[in-house]
Structure 1
Amino acid sequence: MSKNASDIAEHTASATQREFPHSDNVAVMPERRDLHFLPPGDRISDWHQAGPNVTQFMNALSLLFPAGERMFIDAVRSYRDEIPDPDLKKAATAFIGQEAMHSREHIEYNALMDAAGLPAAKLDQFTWRLLDWIKAKTPKSFPLAATIALEHYTALMGDMLLRYPEMMNGSQEDFERMWRWHALEEIEHKAVAYDVYEKCIGRGPRNWVERSAAMAAATALFWPIVASFYWQMSRADEKCRKAGVRGHLKLLNFALGKPGYIRRMVPEWLSYFQYSFHPWQQNNADLLAELDELVENAEAAYATHH
C-alpha cells in the first residue's frame, strides 16, 4: 500500500474519528494537492464520450465552480478562528486549499470555452454577481449553511461519477482525469464545512431549519441556473445545434432517464433533510482508493506536456 493510501486508511480508522452524531460516521482528513491538468482546447466542445450535449452540460457545471468555490472558501474561513477542535481546524485549512486548487483549474478550463467562442465569461460573471449579492445580503451563518448544502450536491455528483465509471469512460483523458480528481476531493472533504457549522454554530433545531432552508434555496437556484447555462452553451455550439432535439433528449436520458445519473442522486439528496443527517452517513471512503494512481497519472501527464 502506498503512503497516501495508508494515510487514507489511517484517517478512516477509529483513531481519527471525531465526535459525530452516529458512531459509524467516518472522518477523512483532506489533503491539498497542487495538480495541473491542461485539457486540450480543441476538444472543449466534444470531450465527453456521450457527445456534445453532455459535454456542454458538464461545461455548464464547470462555469459555476470558480465563484462557488470562492464562496465556500470565504464561508469556512470566516469561522476558522472559532473552531475549537485542532483536527477540524487542520481539515478546514486543507478544505480551503483544495477549493483554491479546484477554482484555479476550472478558471483555466473555462477560459478554453471563451477561446472557442462560447459565452463562458458572461455566465461566469453572472455567477459571481449572484453569489456576491447573497453574501452581502444574508447573515454570516447563511453562506456557510449554503456551503454545506452545495457541498452535499458536489459530494453526491462526485460519488456518482466515481461509482459508475461508465459515466466518463471513453472521454478525452485530460478532461476525465480532471473531473475524477475534483470528484475524489469533493468526497474527501465533504463533511468539513458541515462539521465547522456544527462546532461553531451548533446542532439542534436552529441547525436543521437553517441548513434545510439553505438546501431549498440552493436547489431552487442551482438547477434553473445549470439549465440556463446549458441552453446558452448548447445554442452557441455548432455541434449541439446540428444534433438538434435528439441531442437534448440524449442529455435528458443521461441525467434523468436511463442511465439517469442525476435521478439516481435523489434518495441521498433527500437524506440531507433528516434531523440527524451527517455527510459521512454515506460512507464512501472506499472510493478514495484511486487517489494515488490518479495523482501519479496527472503529474506524469503534466510533465509530458512540459
Structure 2
Amino acid sequence: MQTSDKNTKTANIGVVITDPDDWTANALMKNIRKRGANAIPITLATLSASVSDSDFAIFDTDLNDLLALDAIIVRDVGISFALEQISFKFDLLRQFETANIPVMNSPTAIQNAANKFFSFYLFKQVQLPIPRTVVTSDLGVALKATKEFEIAVAKPIFGSQGKGIVKLESTQPDMKQKLATLLKKRGVLYLQQFVPNPGRDIRAFVVGEEALGAIYRISQIGSFISNLSQGGTALMCDLTEEMRALAVNAAKAVDADFAGVDLIEGDKGLFVLEVNATPSGKGIKLACGIDVTERIIGRMFEREL
C-alpha cells in the first residue's frame, strides 16, 4: 500500500485462519486493530475465484472482493487431504501476491518449511547441523537405513503437531513388516536418525532476523514427542548465541519472515529439526510473556504498509 493510500483510507488486512477460536489468530487480529487497521478473517477453504479473458476475481461467501485487501497474514492454511484442495489454496495465495498484495509468510516460504525433505535440503545448502535422513519408496533402502540408524523416526513429509510420527528400532523382529505397512500407507518413507536427547526439544521464535525467545517443549513420560498439541509442556528456555544463530539461519533458509524453529540437544550438539512457517504463539506467551504476534504485525507494517 502506497503512502498516499495510507493517508486516505484505513488499511484492510486479511488474516488467513482455520479456527476462529485460535489464540494466535485472535492475537494477530488484535494487534492489527491496535494499529488502527481493519482485521479481516479469511478461510481459504471457503474462497472462490472466477477467471475470464477480461476479468479475474477472488471472493468469499459474501461475495466480497478480496483483491482489494492491502496485505495478508497467514496464520494457518489448514490440512487438506485432497491434492486439488491444497493446490487451490496455495494458488489463491500466489494470486494475491501477483495482485501486489503482500502475503506474510509467502506461499513459497510456507511450502518450503512444510516440506520436511526439501527444507532439509535447504538447511544442508547453508550448512546447518541436521540429523541423517533418508527418503525412499524402496523397502530395501528403508531397511538398510533403519539398520544403520539403529533407532529411526518415520515422519510424514507433510505433517504437523507431531501427528503420524513413529519410532522404529532396528532390533524389532517385525521391522520389515512395519516399514512395508508404512510404505503402503504413505507411498514414500521419510526416515530420520533418532537424536538421543533430554526428553525435550526447543522451539525458538524468529521474526525478521531476530530470535525473540524460546521455549523447551518437554515430552510426557513414556513419549518421545514433545509437541504441545500432543501433551508436551512449555517452559522458558534461555537462548544461547548458538541457538539464536541456528534459528535465524534456518528461518532464512526457507525464506520465512517469521517462524518457529525446532532444535534438539544431542550428544554431539544442537541439530535443526524443522521450521514451522505458521507457528502458534500461545506457548511462548504463556511460558515467557513474549507476544510474538505483536512483532509479526510490526514487521508487516514496517515493510509493507
**Same fold at TM > 0.5:** no
Higher relative contact order (CA 8 A, sep 6+): 1
TM-score by length of 2: 0.29
- Greater gyration radius: 2
